């Protein structure tokens, strides 16, 4: 777990808004979105205007690639593998993350699970101090993985995840029971085992039981709060103090 953005902060200096980038991975319905929401709430960020937020959250779902007409038909029948790395536009994700690290304002599209495509709405992500990126495969692509300063893996058992995914997909993602179960058996479960679970080894912190694990969430919130307290103007002074102390010993 590195304390501070390395390459980018060195090139941009302390004035820049080079954020602390946190990746949040885990299987479907493990609670990634809920954990990120809780972190934002506990840091008092949810009620703030977008432009005022010091902590922001982005979903990897915004980086699903657009489908060809035949893939679109398969997706409508629940026969497209949205859990395979090829379903994502990892180059676009990498580009956007690099722009965020360079302190730029970016537009992130909203994903529509009903149409299986990017909607015409998008969110403006303003330069922030901490950026959370959550998704099933955020640790899969090496170039993306290497950008994170901290990596969290939300670890919830498969039965619980399936039991949560079924009602969520029916109520929030416009699916029916048969489609959700078929998709789960044919694509979601095998891809989790092949592509997502092996990335757990890259995590700095594993959160067992997901959003139920308030102790883990509080520890992470405390770590982020400490980071936020170190405002850009304090950082050089702190480092100067450490330098002078060590040279006088």
* Least Å from the CB of residue 7 to Mg ion: 29
CA–CA separation, 51 vs 223, rounded Å? 23
> Closer to ligand ADP at the Cβ: 29 or 224?
29
**Going by C-beta distance under 8 Å and a sequence separation of 6 or more, which residues neighbour residue 114?**
173, 174
CA–CA separation, 55 vs 51, rounded Å? 11
- Lay out the site mask for ligand C5P across 4-43 (x = CB under 6 A, - = otherwise): ------------------------xx--xx----------
The three-state secondary structure class of 152 is strand
* Least Å from the CB of residue 166 to ligand C5P: 12
With beta carbons less than 8 A apart as the criterion, state whether 97 and 139 touch. Answer: no
Q: Is 29 in the site for ligand ADP (CB under 6 A)?
A: yes
> Cα 127 vs. chain centroid, distance in angstroms?
16
Q: Is 62 in the site for Mg ion (CB under 5 A)?
A: no
Which partner, ligand ADP, Mg ion, ligand C5P, none, binds residue 188 by CB below 5 to 8 Å per kind? ligand C5P
* Least Å from the CB of residue 27 to ligand C5P: 7
Q: Is 212 in the site for ligand ADP (CB under 6 A)?
A: yes
CA–CA separation, 178 vs 31, rounded Å? 23
Residue 10 burial (CB < 10 Å; 0-12/13-18/19+)? exposed
Residues that bind ligand ADP (CB under 6 A): 26, 28-34, 164, 168, 210-212
Residues that bind ligand C5P (CB under 6 A): 28-29, 32-33, 61, 64, 82-83, 113, 116, 136, 188
């Amino acid at each position: 777990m590195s304390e501070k953005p390395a390459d980018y902060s060195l090139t941009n200096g302390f004035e820049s808004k080079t954020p602390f980038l946190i990746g949040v991975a885990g299987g479907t319905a493990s609670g990634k979105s809920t954990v990120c929401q809780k972190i934002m709430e506990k840091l008092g960020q949810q009620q703030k205007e977008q432009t005022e937020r010091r902590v922001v959250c982005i979903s990897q779902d915004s980086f699903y690639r657009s489908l060809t007409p035949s893939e679109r038909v398969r997706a409508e029948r629940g026969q497209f593998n949205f859990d395979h790395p090829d379903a994502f536009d990892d180059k676009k994700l990498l580009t956007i993350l690099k722009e965020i690290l360079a302190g730029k304002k970016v537009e992130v599209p909203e994903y529509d699970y009903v149409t299986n495509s990017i909607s015409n709405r998008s969110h403006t992500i303003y330069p922030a101090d901490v950026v959370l990126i959550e998704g099933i495969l955020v640790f899969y692509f090496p170039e993306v993985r290497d950008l994170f300063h901290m990596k969290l893996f939300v670890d919830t058992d498969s039965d619980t995840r399936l039991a949560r995914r079924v009602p969520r997909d029916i109520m929030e993602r416009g699916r029916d029971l048969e489609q959700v179960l078929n998709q789960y058996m044919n694509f979601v479960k095998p891809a989790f085992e092949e592509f997502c679970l092996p990335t757990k080894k890259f995590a700095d912190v594993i959160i067992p039981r997901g959003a139920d694990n308030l102790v883990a969430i509080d520890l992470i919130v405390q770590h982020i709060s400490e980071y936020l307290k170190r405002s850009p103007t304090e950082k050089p002074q702190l480092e100067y103090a450490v330098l002078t102390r060590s040279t006088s010993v």
